[in-house]
Amino acid sequence: MSIVGATTTELLARFERGDLSSVEATTAYLDAIALNDQRVKAFLHVDYDHAVAQAKAVDAKRARGEPLGKLAGLPVAVKDVVCTAGQPTTCASRMLKNFVPPYDAHVVTRLRLADAVLIGKTNMDEFAMGSSTENSAFQVTRNPWDLERTPGGSSGGSAAAVAAGMSPLALGTDTGGSIRLPAGYCGVVGMKPTYGRVSRFGLVAYGSSLDQIGPFANDVAGAALLLEVLSGYDRRDSTSVDTPVPEYSRTLEEPLGGLRIGIAKEHFVEGLDREVEQSVRDALEVYRSLGAEIQEISLPHSKYAVAVYYVVAPSEASSNLARYDGVHYGHRAAGFENMIDMYSASRGEGFGPEVKRRIMLGTYALSAGYYDAYYLKALKVRRLIRNDFDKAFESVDVIASPVAPTPAFKIGELIDDPLAMYLSDIYTISANLAGLPGLCLPAGASCDNLPIGLQLLAPPFDEDRLLRAARMFERETQWHKRRAMEVGD
């Protein structure tokens, strides 16, 4: 098995046996980046020397027989919305083009403590707003399975990096599906943890009541291991929950007897691609053959999820993005007459069109006179969406659904139609509104050979069961073994 096609489990075993060093592995991934990223454009920043130096340090630690972290020697790519000390963190925005954070995000500290190798920063939709990475101010990432198509977004760079064998692991963020959707489009595993499971300290905020950081990997075990490293209480994020973190990677192989899987009748309606629907139904058959019981459930308010999300997320975004005023940090326009002029020129030049659209939508929804009609109303419906899930989880353990209505769409296909773009989030955003953990894993292929993802959702803090349920499917199927690109090392 080639290095860059290997799973994290295989890589760690080879490190342990001593037949592969972290420097060799890291170099193989860096070579894959040099070879493929001119076409895929997953990375915004790769510091080759620094990556090799980190790998060398881990190899030396191993040679000295010192205790090693759980990710010792494994490269991890980080979405460029997560702060890395001394390395650019641009959020794919002109506004932060020259921003180099003076500190690490909590998750980055956790990666360093786990002896991971930070291989680079990945492309995304500007400030994580989008579903295709076309909203990046710098470059459009391409889907490694078909370069004419989008990898999904907003964490498209991270998903594409893993799918193209340019990193075995990556971090993404998921405010309304931005880990799960690109995982589905790129045929990798991606997971959004429960709201509160992973600290957002050092994550540039988009929608603060929705944002979560989570893992990408090429199999469930990789995602479980990375989640285990990222999770846990941090007093620097007031929404971080102080509850024990199970060792997900240890319990993964334990079978789930009598698993009850819910499928929502609202999820199988017009607009759902025939091949996507077939893949989900085939996946359910696999579960049935393993003894799972499939039950129909109802999520009656899910039809409002897109509308609710596109009020709540832009409202929070408009408030979070107020800090980019050209004074504190970020882009400042060159020519201006007075302070107000400086604010508007800096923001006008620094933000791209989708970010401006969100700021306008959010400011409108929050303004006096409209607040009750839009924002408050959206919060009330959000509660009803959560109630639907609470009720459903009284009779099922997990909920299975498509991750998106279609496989990856073409670059340029939806960019001029924001509403159509927003509809690609239809299956993912409810989990963010309700704070639930969700996972997407490869579960099929279209006749064009594009990956099709299966989404599983679980009750809050039930990541353990979610991962085990995903692993049950993975053990029985071969979808996760498909690789997007022939990459030599």
CA distance 190 to 66: 32
- The nearest distance, CB 204 to ligand GLN, in angstroms, is 11
Is 466 a binding residue for ligand GLN by CB under 6 A? The answer is no
Instruction: Choose among 145, 177, 173, 176: nearest CA to 452.
Output: 145
Q: Which of 21, 22, 70, 79 is catalytic?
A: 79
What are residue 217's DSSP bridge partners? 169, 189
Output b/e per residue, 355-364; b: 16+ Cβ within 10 A. Answer: beebbebbbe
Per CB under 6 A, which region of 168-176, 222-230, 391-399, 438-446 contacts ligand GLN?
168-176
* 84 vs 131, beta carbon nearer ligand GLN: 131
Write out the binding residues for ligand GLN, residues 344-363 only, by CB under 6 A: none
The site string for ligand GLN over 180-219 (x = CB under 6 A, - otherwise) reads --------------------------x-------------
Which of residues 313, 359, 434, 469 is near ligand GLN by CB under 6 A? 313
* 214 vs 262, beta carbon nearer ligand GLN: 214
Per CB under 6 A, which region of 87-95, 127-135, 286-294, 462-470 contacts ligand GLN?
127-135
Q: Count the site residues for ligand GLN by CB under 6 A.
A: 14
Residue closest to ligand GLN (Cβ): 178
- The nearest distance, CB 256 to ligand GLN, in angstroms, is 28
Q: Which of 154, 240, 249, 446 is catalytic?
A: 154
- The nearest distance, CB 412 to ligand GLN, in angstroms, is 17
Whose structure tokens read 């932060």? 96
Is 126 a binding residue for ligand GLN by CB under 6 A? The answer is no
Query: Could you confirm whether 192 is annotated as catalytic?
Result: no
Please enumerate in sequence order all residues whose Cβ is within 8 A of that of 102, keeping only pairs 6 or more positions apart, or say none: 85
Is 131 a binding residue for ligand GLN by CB under 6 A? The answer is yes
Per CB under 6 A, which region of 173-181, 280-288, 342-350, 449-457 contacts ligand GLN?
173-181
- The nearest distance, CB 224 to ligand GLN, in angstroms, is 21
Query: Could you confirm whether 178 is annotated as catalytic?
Result: yes
Is 129 a binding residue for ligand GLN by CB under 6 A? The answer is yes
Query: Could you confirm whether 481 is annotated as catalytic?
Result: no
Q: Report angle CA 411, 415, 418 to the nearest 5 degrees.
A: 145
* 36 vs 173, beta carbon nearer ligand GLN: 173
Instruction: Choose among 127, 117, 71: nearest CA to 96.
Output: 127
Which of residues 73, 156, 177, 405 is near ligand GLN by CB under 6 A? 177
Please enumerate in sequence order all residues whose Cβ is within 8 A of that of 231, keeping only pairs 6 or more positions apart, or say none: 193, 197, 198, 245, 463
Write out the binding residues for ligand GLN, residues 22-81 only, by CB under 6 A: none
Applying CB under 6 A, which residues contact ligand GLN? Answer: 128-131, 154, 173-178, 206, 313, 425
Residues with a catalytic annotation lie at 79, 154, 178
